[in-house]
Amino acid sequence: MNTLLQMCYLPYRAMRRIATANICHFLAVELDKLEVTPLSEGLTFEEVTPSRLPSIIQENPELLDDNLIDLIQKSIAHCYVVLENKQVVAFSWLATGNVPAEFNHDENPNTQLPFKLPSHTAYIFNAYVSPPYRGKRLYGAMMSGISSRMSGSRILRLVMTTEASNHRALRSVRRMGFRTIGRSMLFGVGKFCVAYYPRHLSAWGIYLGRYEGDRPKLIAA
Ligand SMILES: CC(C)(COP(=O)(O)OP(=O)(O)OC[C@H]1O[C@@H](n2cnc3c(N)ncnc32)[C@H](O)[C@@H]1OP(=O)(O)O)[C@@H](O)C(=O)NCCC(=O)NCCS
């Protein structure tokens, strides 16, 4: 990241340490515009289907907790992995329809933001590449793998959200062809907060709920 950009984000990063501050990019790409990235030799890509769960868990016991296993078993969300010698080196999740708040946040519970997608759009979330494998376009290869699994399905577009100071992720997904279609924002200190919702996302068939930190709090009687 260049120095000027780093300086622009300094106040924002500082606020994130002491309060709630979230600028969230909504990014989208049409599947036929997604840059194809090949997977390096020795790596394989696959979906963690309910039938593959036992063997993947056996080789990667830390990968999935009970909640995540439930999401796969109930087909609430799909999990894709990149493996090297049976070890998961990268993963990403995909959801459709009503995206619950827990699927979209930056670790701070106040930043959880639910939304609804049209039927031809899928949401990519919780993408992760193991540190020794970073910088090798594995994220792109994973998106290419997911895209090829979508072919012939009703899905024509992928969307994702990325926190604005995650420059590595933004560089990576823009290289793949994703473009920012809107930004939501939440700033809060104590009980006070201000939120912005890019309502024009409805032109993309995306309808946002409210940030968890922007919900009226129940006051105990
Ligand atoms: C964001 C992330 C998925 C990118 O995966 P990746 O396979 O490394 O992506 P790329 O190979 O396209 O590299 C992206 C950028 O990471 C940076 N990078 C390069 N080598 C790196 C390394 N060894 N370690 C960390 N970052 C590195 C570079 O800025 C690179 O862009 P550049 O090559 O144009 O300079 C990965 O860094 C990650 O898992 N981060 C933590 C979780 C996260 O932020 N997820 C994304 C949520 S939207």
Structure tokens at 187: 């700033």
Most informative mutation of 134, 173, 174 for ligand 1 (most atoms within 8 A of CB): 134
Nearest CA owner, ligand 1 atom 8: 134
**Does residue 37 line the site of ligand 1, with CB under 6 A?**
no
Residue 13 located in a structural domain: no
Residue 67 located in a structural domain: yes
Distance CA 98, CA 101 (A): 9
- Compute, in angstroms, the gap from residue 137 CA to the centroid of ligand 1: 8
Given this model, what pLDDT does residue 37 score?
98
Q: State the total domains in the chain.
A: 1
**Does residue 136 line the site of ligand 1, with CB under 6 A?**
yes
Given this model, what pLDDT does residue 181 score?
98
Given this model, what pLDDT does residue 123 score?
98
Given this model, what pLDDT does residue 5 score?
66
Residue 221 located in a structural domain: no
Q: What is the pLDDT of residues 59-84, one digit of tens each?
A: 999 999 999 999 999 999 999 999 99
Give the residue ranges of the chain where pLDDT is below 50: none
| CATH number of the domain residue 72 falls in | 3.40.630.30
Structure tokens at 207: 């309808």
- Compute, in angstroms, the gap from residue 172 CA to the centroid of ligand 1: 7
Residue 201 located in a structural domain: yes
Nearest CA owner, ligand 1 atom 43: 128
Given this model, what pLDDT does residue 1 score?
57
- Compute, in angstroms, the gap from residue 143 CA to the centroid of ligand 1: 14
Residue 8 located in a structural domain: no
Given this model, what pLDDT does residue 215 score?
86
**Does residue 166 line the site of ligand 1, with CB under 6 A?**
yes
Residue 9 located in a structural domain: no
Residue 156 located in a structural domain: yes
Residue at 26: amino acid letter: F
Which residue range forms the structural domain that includes residue 183?
Answer: 20-214
Residue 10 located in a structural domain: no
Most informative mutation of 124, 172, 175 for ligand 1 (most atoms within 8 A of CB): 172
Atom of ligand 1 nearest to the CA of 131: 24
Q: What is the pLDDT of residues 129-153, one digit of tens each?
A: 999 999 999 999 999 999 999 999 9
Distance CA 90, CA 45 (A): 9
SS (HEC) of the chain: CCHHHHHHHHHHHHHHHHCEEEEEEEEEEEHHHCCCCCCCCCEEEEECCCCCHHHHHHHCCCCCCHHHHHHHHCCCCEEEEEEECCEEEEEEEEEECEECHHHCCCCCHHHCCCEECCCCEEEEEEEEECHHHCCCCHHHHHHHHHHHHHCCCCCCEEEEEEECCCHHHHHHHHHHCCEEEEEEEEEEECCEEEEECCHHHHHHCCEECCCHHHCCCCCCC
- Compute, in angstroms, the gap from residue 171 CA to the centroid of ligand 1: 8
Contacts 24+ apart (CB under 8 A), 154-157: 154/119, 154/120, 155/31, 155/96, 155/120, 155/121, 155/122, 156/30, 156/31, 156/32, 156/120, 156/121, 157/28, 157/29, 157/30, 157/31, 157/120, 157/121, 157/122
